[in-house]
Structure 1
Amino acid sequence: MAEPIPPITLPPAENPQQEGEWLKSVLCQWLDHEFIPEAINQQIAERATQVFVRQRMEGENDLGALVIAIVTEMQAFDFSKSFFSEFAVANAVSDLLLDSLGIDRCCGQ
């Protein structure tokens, strides 16, 4: 039987606001480069960052739990003017965080 992929735990947040500023910037860049730059991308990045920062301030360090929180809370966001969905945004946040930690996201490694 295949072994489950172990959870990824982020280091404890020392400065959640600074993490949020970084995330908002790189997420907005990712959104703009993935399809086309749109005004809504800034709003998407802002909302996802708010969820992320609040979760980090509450002590959440598990990447999977952070992704679920973003998916859940972004369901209320109006994506009708965007190419993206809550799932694409949460997955992008996960990928950006893994990249920042130097964790290869290919094949569960």
Structure 2
Amino acid sequence: MTEPIQAVTLPSAENPQQEGEWLQAALHQWLDREFIPEAVNAQIAARAAQVFVRQRMEGENDVGSLVIAIITEMQAFDFSKSFFSEFAIANAVSDLLLDSLGIDNRCCGQGDPRTKDEG
């Protein structure tokens, strides 16, 4: 029987504003590297970071819930000048957060996502 994928949680936020600044810079860099640098990338990163900070200030630590909040709130963003969508942004945020936690085994629910591949 297949085991459900366990939730990944961040440590409680001690400085959500600082986390948001990190996320904004990291996401902006990712956006610029993924296709081409565009002015709208800064706006996308700022908006996603704003949602993230607010969620963290409200006590949200679950990465899945943070991703859903970003998808939901980024639906109102005008992506017409971008190659990206709210789903791509939320997935990128998830990847950045998992990287920051040292989690690299994210594909397809294989094994415990909080442990490294043990060969």
TM range (shorter): over 0.9
- CA-based RMSD of the aligned residues comes to 0.8
Structure 2 residue aligned with 1:64: 64
| 1:1-109 alignment runs, 5 A limit | 1-107=1-107, 108=109, 109=113
Where structure 2 has 5 or more consecutive residues not aligned to the other structure, the ranges are 114-119
Task: Measure the CA separation in 1 of the matches of 2:26 and 2:106.
Answer: 20
| AA aligned opposite 2:10 | L
Residue deviations 1:29-59 (CA, integer Å, cap 9, x gap): 0000000000000000000000000000000
Q: How many residues align structurally?
A: 109
Secondary structure of the corresponding residue to residue 91 of structure 1? helix
Task: Measure the CA separation in 2 of the matches of 1:7 and 1:106.
Answer: 12
**Structure-2-length-normalised TM-score:** 0.89
Higher Cα Rg, which structure: 2
Residue deviations 1:62-108 (CA, integer Å, cap 9, x gap): 00000000000000000000000000000000000000110114323
Task: Measure the CA separation in 1 of the matches of 2:34 and 2:94.
Answer: 15
Q: Which runs of 4+ in 1 moved over 4 A?
A: none
Task: Measure the CA separation in 1 of the matches of 2:98 and 2:36.
Answer: 24
Task: Measure the CA separation in 1 of the matches of 2:53 and 2:79.
Answer: 21
| AA aligned opposite 2:78 | D
Where structure 1 has 5 or more consecutive residues not aligned to the other structure, the ranges are none
Task: Measure the CA separation in 1 of the matches of 2:14 and 2:39.
Answer: 31
Task: Measure the CA separation in 1 of the matches of 2:66 and 2:88.
Answer: 14
> What is the aligned-residue identity percentage?
81
| AA aligned opposite 1:106 | R
